[in-house]
């Protein structure tokens, strides 16, 4: 019973003391709040970005890998007993042969980028000259995670006959057809050619590097005929069946493509196999460094808040020496005085923490909204923030509390 009486009394005295030194208390609360806001806000934003990246790569197909030309600077050091081979681009003949000979339960797609600076025109409307134009086969939509919202996909026959057909992203529809016209069967100009729109892609959203809704897809053979350029590079996307291991399929594909490119046992791969899940891991691994940096920034800010809080409490001890002497004279123990000052620091710290957590969630979810992510309440970081505030409060309040509890009541009463 005595414990609860002392507890409630210390809380009342602490609140009264905070109100009597309101300006200093508010400044300290704000310092703590900004530290927690920086920590919780950045970490909430990072969690949102992680979720957004994972969703984007899941849409691309979690069980997918791509065979692409290898960058001349990315093949790494030469292994002992191995010799490097010419890092030539993957040709259409090689990609088509792989698609034909890969006798494995998987969907194989061959595609190439015709241009990254395409311009689409419809009547008086036209896009900026920054539209990615791809030449694709009939399997590309499945392996890349795109879905048709209106219209249909290319057929094998249309690709074989290199028809002037196009499938466009949802954002291009909004840009070119501003009067709510139905884009299907409309003729648009792409480069020097005229193309009939047969399909519109379902909205997918933008990623860190591109906007999938501003894309234009043409038949692969049409691109080979009208967008041909020297050393045009082709890529192969492979989506194994659900019951097939990605590693097993990757091994089979690597063996076949080495054979197609006539590599011997001593030759290094002159192509690159990129798994969709490895890209996710790479992004998330890089984000970890940002998480560490954000945590360090938040802790440094809280360290500054702890020093400020300690300074305020030391000043408070000096200003309230007579009060401490009076309390001791009427029976308060050193432990009671110590608890009183610790309660003050804990209340200030938790008020700052609560304000910082609210601001941090708000700021973090602004970033989440901008990246198209869901509203996030980072419970882990909230509990971590509360714990940090408690540690800061105890660390900064212990020295002033010890100093106050050790004051001699007679000397304290004589203090001017």
Residue 77's pLDDT is 41
Residue 196's pLDDT is 96
- What are the residues whose beta carbons fall under 8 Å from the beta carbon of 294, sequence distance 6 or more? 38, 39, 42, 43, 46
CA–CA gap between residue 45 and residue 40 (Å, rounded): 8
- Within 10 angstroms of residue 130's Cβ, the number of other Cβ atoms is 12
In the predicted structure, residue 415 carries a pLDDT above the cut 70: no
Helix (H) or strand (E) holding 113: strand 106-118
**Which is more confident, 401 or 156?**
156
What are 64-109's pLDDT values in tens digits? 889 999 875 333 444 444 444 566 899 999 999 999 999 988 999 9
Please give the average per-residue pLDDT across 351-377, as a whole number.
Answer: 80
**Which is more confident, 1 or 23?**
23
What are 257-316's pLDDT values in tens digits? 999 999 988 889 989 988 776 656 666 666 777 778 777 877 777 777 777 777 777 777
In the predicted structure, residue 399 carries a pLDDT above the cut 80: no
Most confident of 58-67, 135-144, 337-346, 350-359: 135-144
How far is CA 304 from its chain centroid? 29
Please give the average per-residue pLDDT across 201-227, as a whole number.
Answer: 83
Model confidence at 372, pLDDT cuts 50, 70, 90, reads low
- What are the residues whose beta carbons fall under 8 Å from the beta carbon of 117, sequence distance 6 or more? 129, 130, 131
Tell me the pTM. 0.59
Average pLDDT value for the chain: 80
Q: Can you read off the two tokens belonging to residue 19? A: 């109100």
Please give the average per-residue pLDDT across 245-266, as a whole number.
Answer: 90
Q: Which of 154-163, 238-247, 395-404 shows the lowest per-residue confidence on average (mean pLDDT)?
A: 395-404
In the predicted structure, residue 336 carries a pLDDT above the cut 80: no
- DSSP conformation class of 139: T
What angle is formed at CA 230 by the lines to CA 224 and CA 235, rounded to 5 degrees? 60
For the residues of 216-245, what is the DSSP string, one character each? EEEEHHHHHHHS--TT--EEEEEEE-TTS-
**Which is more confident, 409 or 119?**
119
89 with 252: CB under 8 angstroms? no
Model confidence at 158, pLDDT cuts 50, 70, 90, reads very high
Residue 211's pLDDT is 72
Give the domain ranges of the chain.
2-57+281-413, 71-269
């Amino acid at each position: 019973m005595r414990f609860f009486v002392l507890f409630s009394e210390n809380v009342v005295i602490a609140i009264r003391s905070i109100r009597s030194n309101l300006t200093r208390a508010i400044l300290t609360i704000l310092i703590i709040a900004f530290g927690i806001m920086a920590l919780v806000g950045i970490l909430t934003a990072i969690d949102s970005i992680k979720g957004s990246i994972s969703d984007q790569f899941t849409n691309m197909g979690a069980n997918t890998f791509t065979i692409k030309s290898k960058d001349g600077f990315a093949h790494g050091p030469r292994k002992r007993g191995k010799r490097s081979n010419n890092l030539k681009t993957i040709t259409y003949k090689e990609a088509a042969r792989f698609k034909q000979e890969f006798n494995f339960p998987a969907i194989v797609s061959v595609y190439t980028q015709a241009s990254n600076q395409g311009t689409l025109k419809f009547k008086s409307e036209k896009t900026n000259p920054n539209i990615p134009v791809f030449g694709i086969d009939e399997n590309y939509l499945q392996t890349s995670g795109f879905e048709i919202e209106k219209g249909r996909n290319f057929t094998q026959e249309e690709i074989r006959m290199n028809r002037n057909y196009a499938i466009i992203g949802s954002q291009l529809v909004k840009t070119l057809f501003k009067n709510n016209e139905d884009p299907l069967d409309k003729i648009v100009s792409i480069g020097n050619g005229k193309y009939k729109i047969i399909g519109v892609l379902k909205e997918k959203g933008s990623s860190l590097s591109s906007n999938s809704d501003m894309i234009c897809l043409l038949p692969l053979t049409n691109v080979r005929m009208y967008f041909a350029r020297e050393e045009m590079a082709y890529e192969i996307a492979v989506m194994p069946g659900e019951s097939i291991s990605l590693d097993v399929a990757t091994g089979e594909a690597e063996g076949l493509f080495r054979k197609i490119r006539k590599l011997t046992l001593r030759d290094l791969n002159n192509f690159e196999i990129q798994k969709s899940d490895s890209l996710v891991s790479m992004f998330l691994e890089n984000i970890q460094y940002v998480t560490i940096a954000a945590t360090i920034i938040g802790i440094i800010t809280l360290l500054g808040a702890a020093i400020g809080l300690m300074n305020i409490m030391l000043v408070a001890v000096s200003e309230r020496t007579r009060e401490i002497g009076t309390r001791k004279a009427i029976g308060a123990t050193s432990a009671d005085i110590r608890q009183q000052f610790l309660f003050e620091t804990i209340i200030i710290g938790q008020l700052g923490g609560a304000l910082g957590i609210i601001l941090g969630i708000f700021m973090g979810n602004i970033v989440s909204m901008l990246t198209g992510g869901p509203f996030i309440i980072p419970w882990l970081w909230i509990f971590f923030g509360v714990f940090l505030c408690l540690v800061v409060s105890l660390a900064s309040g212990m020295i002033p509390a010890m100093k106050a509890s050790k004051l001699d009541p007679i000397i304290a009463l004589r203090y001017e």
